């Protein structure tokens, strides 16, 4: 197992910004596509954003397109999710994920690696 550790969650007012980071330790994931998912109690974990191994290709859920930006630094083995114009409906636990395939990192089932999550709360 490769530990993925998320950080940067917290409480923010609607319209504000947060920056989430995910660090891989013990092994480099520089050749793995990586992504972010989120989950609220009682609902399934949903896809938020993904980035390929090179950082040249990204994909976003329609609900966050234009507000969130995913990026990565392979030298530091980190992936970042910049979240702007936050809305109360963005409130969730956000999970970092890594999978050996581009298709696999965009679906919940069968993911190779998950972080433990970080809570983001957006108040009105």
pLDDT attached to residue 70: 98
In the predicted structure, residue 3 carries a pLDDT above the cut 90? no
pLDDT band at 10 (very low <50, low <70, confident <90, very high): very high
What is the pLDDT of the chain when averaged over all its residues? 95
Is residue 60 predicted with pLDDT exceeding 80?
yes
Give residue 16's pLDDT band: very low, low, confident or very high (50, 70, 90): very high
Give CA–CA dist 58/41, Å, rounded: 27
88-91, Cβ contacts within 8 angstroms, sequence gap of 24 or more: 88/14, 88/122, 88/123, 88/124, 89/63, 89/122, 90/38, 90/64, 90/120, 90/122, 91/40, 91/120, 91/121, 91/122
């Amino acid at each position: 197992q490769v530990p993925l550790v998320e950080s940067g969650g917290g409480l923010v007012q609607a319209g504000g910004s947060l920056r989430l980071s995910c660090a891989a330790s013990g092994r480099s994931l520089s050749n793995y596509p990586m992504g972010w998912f989120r989950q609220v109690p009682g609902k399934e974990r949903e896809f938020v954003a993904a980035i390929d191994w090179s950082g040249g290709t990204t994909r976003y859920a329609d609900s966050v397109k234009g507000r969130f930006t995913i990026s990565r630094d392979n030298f530091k083995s980190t992936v970042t999710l910049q979240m702007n114009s936050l809305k109360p409906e963005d409130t969730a636990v956000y999970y970092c994920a890594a999978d050996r395939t581009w298709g696999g990192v965009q679906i919940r089932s069968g993911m190779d690696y998950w972080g433990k999550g970080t809570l983001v709360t957006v108040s009105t």
